């Protein structure tokens, strides 16, 4: 089952259904600002077979965290930890305690960064490959042995967030980690990849790893907070 933002477009939901996925549509959390209020990567994380989430999610067999999400940063980042194989990346001053317990239980290597929206900022392609737009994060990840594709941050202007129930765009921009979601043997792009991939660097990076790309021609790029496969 997949956890998705309920605001995902019907063409995208239909594609996931045609691929035989069921999904849980995460509704807006009234304690968060609307742009991220129903983003899976804000509310939930999967570490091996453990699902740790905020109490707003009603997922069977999940671990409910102690952290209550609130709208002001950094009170909204407790669950936004990026997992890459046996590495965890976050601003660990603000990480949900139950996540820390599980990371320690499985001997994860913890990489501390200042950016609290860690999962938002990093698109995980496989167990050793990522795509980012932040130079500082790219440097840290490279130093820790990961293969990093650094994309010019100018693409962020084409990553949209919704500001209200009428699906109008916010003046805020989204993150690449909320746009590119690895699911089984494909990477799901929430929109038309060409809008953030002017020179095919992203496409080539993904296809080099023998992964299929699913995107949506002529659809704007929307940051839905990624997709979590549970």
Domain count, the chain: 1
CATH of the domain at 30: 3.75.10
210/123 Cα distance (integer angstroms): 16
According to the model, what pLDDT value does residue 98 have? Answer: 98
Q: Which domain holds residue 18?
A: 2-229
The stretch 140-158 carries a mean pLDDT of 97
Phi-psi region of 167 (alpha: psi -120 to 50; beta: other; left: phi over 0): left
pTM over 0.95? The answer is yes
50/210 Cα distance (integer angstroms): 27
According to the model, what pLDDT value does residue 167 have? Answer: 95
According to the model, what pLDDT value does residue 58 have? Answer: 83
Query: Does 162 score more than 90 pLDDT?
Result: yes
26-56: per-residue pLDDT in tens? Answer: 999 999 999 999 999 999 999 999 999 999 8
The stretch 188-195 carries a mean pLDDT of 98
18-29: per-residue pLDDT in tens? Answer: 999 999 999 999
Query: Does 158 score more than 90 pLDDT?
Result: yes
Residue 64 parent element (H or E): strand 63-64
163-179: per-residue pLDDT in tens? Answer: 999 999 999 999 999 99
């Amino acid at each position: 089952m997949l956890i998705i933002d309920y605001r995902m477009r019907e063409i995208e939901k239909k594609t996931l259904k045609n691929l035989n996925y069921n999904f849980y549509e995460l509704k807006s959390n009234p304690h968060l600002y609307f742009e991220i209020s129903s983003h899976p990567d804000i509310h939930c994380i999967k570490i091996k077979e453990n699902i740790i989430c905020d109490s707003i999610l009603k997922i069977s067999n999940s671990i409910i965290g102690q952290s209550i999400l609130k709208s002001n940063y950094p009170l909204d980042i407790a669950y936004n930890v990026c997992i890459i194989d046996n590495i965890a990346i976050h601003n660990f001053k603000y990480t949900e305690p139950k996540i820390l317990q599980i990371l320690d239980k499985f001997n994860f290597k913890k990489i501390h960064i200042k950016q609290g929206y860690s999962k938002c900022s990093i698109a995980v392609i496989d167990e050793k490959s990522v795509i980012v737009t932040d130079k500082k994060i790219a440097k840290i990840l490279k130093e820790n042995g990961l293969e990093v594709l650094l994309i010019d941050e100018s693409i962020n202007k084409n990553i949209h967030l919704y500001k209200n129930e009428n699906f109008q765009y916010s003046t805020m921009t989204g993150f690449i980690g909320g746009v590119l979601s690895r699911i089984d043997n494909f990477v799901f792009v929430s929109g038309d990849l060409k809008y953030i991939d002017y020179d095919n660097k992203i496409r080539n990076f993904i296809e080099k790893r023998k992964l299929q790309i699913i995107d949506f021609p002529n659809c704007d790029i929307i940051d839905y907070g990624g997709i979590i496969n549970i």
